[in-house]
């Protein structure tokens, strides 16, 4: 049960030392999440929102893919989506990839 009526809007301010540098090489953030997950407020979105001001347009990419291997057909669909993602990454030339995998556990 949600405690707040809506997700809070987070404002951030970054402070850096005089010798800090931000690596702005192209970056792809990939979030693979289990079917049925509520995606609100998860870290991949927060990371993307925090990082996007440091990158040139088109150099920070965000991909979200649902996964469900409950059947052979769903597994084949996921493999196809992953192959398409790999092809996109190959063409964009992203120097780095940050991968998130979100799943859930049941207590029972």
Dihedral of CA atoms 91, 61, 98, 4 in degrees, nearest 10, equals -160
pLDDT digits (tens, 9 = 90+) for 51-87: 888 888 889 999 999 988 888 998 899 899 999 988 8
pTM of the predicted model as reported, rounded to 2 decimal places:
0.71
SS3 call for 101: strand
- Domain borders along the chain are 43-67+78-103
pLDDT digits (tens, 9 = 90+) for 24-49: 788 999 999 988 888 888 899 999 99
Strand partners, 77: none
CB 50 within 8 A of CB 12: yes
């Amino acid at each position: 049960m949600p405690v707040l009526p809506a997700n809070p809007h987070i404002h951030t301010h970054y402070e850096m030392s005089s010798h800090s540098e931000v690596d702005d090489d192209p970056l792809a953030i990939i979030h693979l999440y289990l079917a049925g997950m509520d995606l609100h407020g998860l870290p991949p979105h927060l990371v993307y929102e925090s990082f996007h001001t440091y990158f040139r347009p088109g150099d920070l990419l965000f991909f979200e893919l649902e996964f469900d291997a409950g059947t052979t057909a769903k597994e084949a669909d996921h493999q196809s989506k992953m192959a398409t993602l790999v092809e996109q990454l190959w063409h964009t030339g992203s120097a780095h990839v940050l991968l998130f995998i979100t799943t859930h556990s049941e207590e029972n």
